[in-house]
């Protein structure tokens, strides 16, 4: 018979020892402690996109000592700031402080100054952000339905863009300003080459360089994002023999606009149909001097490549281009007719809309951090936020049988901001939170872009700019002209 009571009834129970916990209970307790470090609103809505034990396995996710801003809390606070572009660091500190007040067991509260938050944010590991980005990058692709593929294949689009940042010596050294700008009057500009999924709009990867770099010079940093049976779509800047031959050897097909230096003689090659020719392109005898392909990689390229050249007549009103020339390695005219190739290249414009979503809607056009390392982290955090929103849009389209491309990205971002307070209120009530999440997906599915076929949107500015002077000298040397409304007359 086991004795359940202490022999000495008044002996302190704290000296009797504690039963050994099981490994499962210790793991559950550890996961709960990691969840307690996350801001409840964002973790409740977007935490489901990550595995339950993600932060337990992620690199540099656990602090080595007790801090007010542990890495997990700092990650969610940084993400909250990216989703609210107008929010200063001071407001983020206030949010974290208000959250800590509700946790009675935590008596430490951050000071209302933003210096400690900015210092902690600068120490946030880029390995952790990269791990989160890779986890979210693979999430939409696994859920994509076959109806969102093109001819049963995954299509990826590639293009370059640029963004600006604060004018600091470190940023200027890493990403110099444009040559046409005077010293002390411009801002650093970085060139970014990005790859997106055409079916889901997911941000797959990016590479950074100076503004004057060509897109092809950054290609090798992103080549691992393409796998066999993928289709890559790009503009004329990517229509290079080396790139098409390299991808064809890997089982990846390409659809590019024909480069302006290539011959447009439709008498060459074998006819596959009207305005459709199969030509044999030969590798250049000499490797170009500034080619991003090294001599060893250049020698491995095949000496000849079959390329299909298609000429498409555009009859849509308002289009500047009347004839479109397409070069592709999809040589089967029965599986990929000319009209289908024209349609997939027409959708290449989607990457411009993806860039508009992150640069205009999420204010990525001008980043705010002041060091190159923080610029890379801020850019990576924008990619994480973009993929999180795309995952919510994909869930909404799947649940409510809506066309994926019609759902508004900006509408989803706006709705997410409004849903966050309710998610914080019920983060510890799973059933109520599930209902809130379902209502969010229903609301996202109902906000759709209008169908406006052949709508003409000229690139022109309607609002008149202010009549301020141009900053043509550094600020400490600049003198403002009086009567600025008429400064053009006296300048």
Query: Which pLDDT tens digit goes with each residue over 325-334?
Result: 999 999 999 9
Distances (CA, A) of 349 to 41, 158, 263, 299, 354: 35, 10, 25, 34, 9
Over range 338-343, report the average pLDDT. Answer: 93
Residue (of 67, 124, 54) closest to 100 by Cα position: 67
Q: What is the pLDDT confidence band of residue 491, given thresholds at 50, 70 and 90?
A: very low
Is residue 197 within 8 Å of 158, Cβ to Cβ?
no
Please give the pLDDT value at position 272: 93
Q: Hey, which residues does 246 pair with through a beta bridge?
A: none
Is residue 415 within 8 Å of 447, Cβ to Cβ?
yes
Please give the pLDDT value at position 484: 59
Domains, the chain, ordered by start: 23-124 (no CATH), 146-361 (3.90.350.10)
Q: Give pTM, 2 decimals.
A: 0.87
For residue 304, give the H/E element and its range: strand 304-313
Choice between 111 and 412, residue whose per-residue pLDDT is larger: 412
133, pLDDT greater than 90: yes
Provide the token pair at 209.
């360089």
Beta sheet of 270-273, edge-to-edge order: 203-210, 189-197, 155-164, 231-234, 253-257, 323-328, 304-313, 276-282, 270-273
112, pLDDT greater than 70: yes
DSSP letters for 470-489: P--S-GGG--PPSSGGGHHH
Q: Kindly report each contact of residues 296-300 with a partner whose C-beta sits within 8 Å and lies 24 or more positions away, as own/partner.
A: 297/246, 298/242
Please give the pLDDT value at position 311: 93
DSSP letters for 348-361: GGHHHHHHHIIIII
410, pLDDT greater than 60: yes
The whole-angstrom distance between residue 378's C-alpha and the CA centroid of its chain comes to 11
Q: Write out pLDDT tens, residues 240-297.
A: 999 999 999 999 999 999 999 998 888 889 999 999 999 999 999 899 888 999 999 9
- ∠ CA 157-159-163, nearest 5°, is 135
Q: What is the pLDDT confidence band of residue 22, given thresholds at 50, 70 and 90?
A: low
Residue (of 109, 70, 115) closest to 88 by Cα position: 115
318, pLDDT greater than 80: no
Residue (of 207, 236, 234, 232) closest to 219 by Cα position: 207
Provide the token pair at 438.
């379902």
Provide the token pair at 410.
């900006």
Distances (CA, A) of 12 to 2, 3, 15, 237: 20, 17, 6, 79
Q: What is the pLDDT confidence band of residue 490, given thresholds at 50, 70 and 90?
A: very low
Q: What is the pLDDT confidence band of residue 237, given thresholds at 50, 70 and 90?
A: very high
Is residue 258 within 8 Å of 236, Cβ to Cβ?
yes
């Amino acid at each position: 018979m086991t004795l359940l009571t202490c022999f000495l009834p008044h002996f302190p129970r704290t000296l009797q020892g504690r039963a050994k916990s099981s490994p499962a209970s210790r793991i559950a307790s550890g996961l709960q402690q990691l969840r307690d470090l996350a801001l409840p609103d964002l973790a409740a809505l977007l935490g489901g996109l990550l595995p339950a034990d993600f932060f337990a396995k992620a690199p540099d996710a656990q602090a080595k000592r007790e801090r007010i801003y542990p890495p997990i809390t700092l990650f969610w606070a940084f993400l909250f700031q990216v989703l609210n572009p107008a929010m200063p660091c001071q407001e983020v500190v206030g949010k974290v402080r208000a959250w800590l007040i509700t946790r009675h067991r935590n008596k430490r509260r951050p000071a209302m100054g933003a210096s400690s938050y900015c210092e902690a944010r600068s120490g946030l590991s880029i390995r952790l952000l990269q791990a989160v980005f890779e986890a979210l990058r693979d999430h939409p692709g696994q859920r994509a339905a076959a109806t969102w593929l093109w001819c049963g294949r995954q299509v990826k689009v590639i293009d370059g863009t640029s963004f600006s940042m604060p004018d600091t010596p470190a940023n200027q050294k890493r990403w110099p300003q444009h040559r046409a700008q005077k010293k002390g009057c411009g801002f650093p500009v970085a060139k970014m080459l990005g790859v997106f999924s055409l079916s889901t709009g997911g941000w797959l990867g990016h590479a950074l360089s100076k503004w004057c770099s060509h897109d092809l010079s950054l290609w090798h940093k992103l080549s691992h994002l393409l796998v066999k049976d993928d289709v890559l779509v790009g503009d004329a800047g990517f229509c290079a023999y080396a790139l098409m031959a390299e991808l064809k050897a890997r089982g990846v097909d390409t659809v590019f606009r024909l480069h302006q230096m290539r011959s447009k003689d439709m008498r060459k090659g074998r006819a596959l149909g009207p305005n459709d020719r199969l030509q044999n392109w030969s590798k250049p005898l000499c490797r170009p001097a500034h080619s991003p392909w090294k001599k060893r990689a250049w020698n491995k390229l095949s000496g000849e490549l079959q390329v299909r050249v298609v000429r498409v007549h555009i009859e849509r009103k308002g289009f500047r281009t009347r004839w479109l020339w397409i070069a592709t390695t999809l040589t089967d005219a029965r599986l990929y007719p000319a009209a289908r190739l024209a349609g997939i290249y027409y959708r290449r414009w989607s990457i411009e809309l993806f860039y508009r979503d992150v640069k205009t809607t999420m204010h990525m056009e001008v980043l705010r951090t002041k060091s190159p390392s923080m610029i890379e982290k801020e850019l990576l955090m924008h990619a994480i936020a973009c993929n999180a929103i795309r995952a919510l849009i994909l869930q909404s389209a799947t649940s409510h049988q809506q066309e994926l491309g019609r759902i508004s990205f900006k509408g989803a971002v706006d709705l997410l901001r409004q849903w966050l307070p309710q998610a914080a209120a019920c983060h510890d009530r799973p059933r109520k939170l599930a209902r809130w999440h379902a209502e969010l997906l229903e609301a996202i599915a109902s906000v759709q872009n209008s169908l406006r076929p052949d709508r003409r949107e000229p690139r022109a500015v309607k609002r008149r700019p202010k009549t301020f002077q141009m900053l043509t000298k550094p600020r400490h040397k600049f003198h403002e002209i009086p009567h600025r409304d008429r400064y053009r007359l006296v300048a």
